[in-house]
Structure 1
Amino acid sequence: MKKMKYTSTILKTVLLVFIFISCENKNPNIIKSGVDELESLELGHPIDKNQMKYNDTIYVPIYSNIYVTRVNQKCLLAATLSIRNTSYSDSLFVTKIDYFNTEGVLVKNYLHNSISLPPMASINYVIEKEDDTGGSGANFIVELSGKNKHVKPIIQAIMIGENGTNQGFAFSTDGYSIKRSKDIE
Structure 2
Amino acid sequence: MRYAIISITLAIGVFLSCKHHETQTVKLAKFDPVHIKVKNPVKKVKAQTFYLPVYSSIPFAEGKSFYGLSSFMAVHNTDFNNPIYITSVYYLDTEGNLIKDFLLSRVDTVMPMQTVNYFVPESDRSGVGANFILEWMADSAVNEPLVETIMVSLTSGQGVSFSSKGKILNELY
1:23-67 per-residue CA deviation (whole Å, 9 max, x = no partner) reads xxxxxxxxxxxxxxxxxxxxxxxxxxxxxx611100000011001
Choose which of 121, 128, 151 in structure 1 pairs with 2:121: 128
**Seq. identity, %:** 29
Code of the aligned partner of 2:162: F
TM-score, scaled to structure 1 = 0.65
The residue number in structure 1 matching 2:98 is: 106
- Greater Rg over alpha carbons, structure: 2
Q: Is residue 55 from structure 1 mapped to residue 55 from structure 2 by the alignment?
A: no
Are the aligned partners of 1:96 and 1:141 in contact in 2 as well (CA < 8 Å)?
yes
| CA distance in structure 1 between the partners assigned to 2:140 and 2:166 by the alignment | 20
Alpha-carbon distance change, 70 to 92 in structure 1, aligned in 2, over 3 angstroms: same
1:113-139 per-residue CA deviation (whole Å, 9 max, x = no partner) reads 11111000011111110121x211100
Choose which of 167, 170, 173 in structure 2 pairs with 1:179: 170
1:87-111 per-residue CA deviation (whole Å, 9 max, x = no partner) reads 1111011000001110011111111
| CA distance in structure 2 between the partners assigned to 1:110 and 1:162 by the alignment | 25
Q: May I ask how many residue pairs the two structures share in their alignment?
A: 128
C-alpha RMSD of the superposition: 1.5
Choose which of 109, 125, 128 in structure 2 pairs with 1:116: 109
User: What is the deviation of 1:162?
Assistant: 4.8
TM-score, scaled to structure 2 = 0.69
**Alignment partner of 2:141: what SS?**
coil
Stretches (4+) displaced over 3 A: none
| CA distance in structure 2 between the partners assigned to 1:122 and 1:71 by the alignment | 35
Q: Is residue 155 from structure 1 mapped to residue 147 from structure 2 by the alignment?
A: yes
Alpha-carbon distance change, 104 to 173 in structure 1, aligned in 2, over 3 angstroms: same
Structure in which a larger fraction of residues adopt strand: 2
Structure 2 residue runs of 5 or longer lacking an equivalent are 1-44
User: What is the deviation of 1:150?
Assistant: 3.4
| CA distance in structure 1 between the partners assigned to 2:120 and 2:63 by the alignment | 26
Structure 1 residue runs of 5 or longer lacking an equivalent are 1-52
User: What is the deviation of 1:71?
Assistant: 4.7
Code of the aligned partner of 1:61: P
Choose which of 144, 159, 162 in structure 2 pairs with 1:168: 159
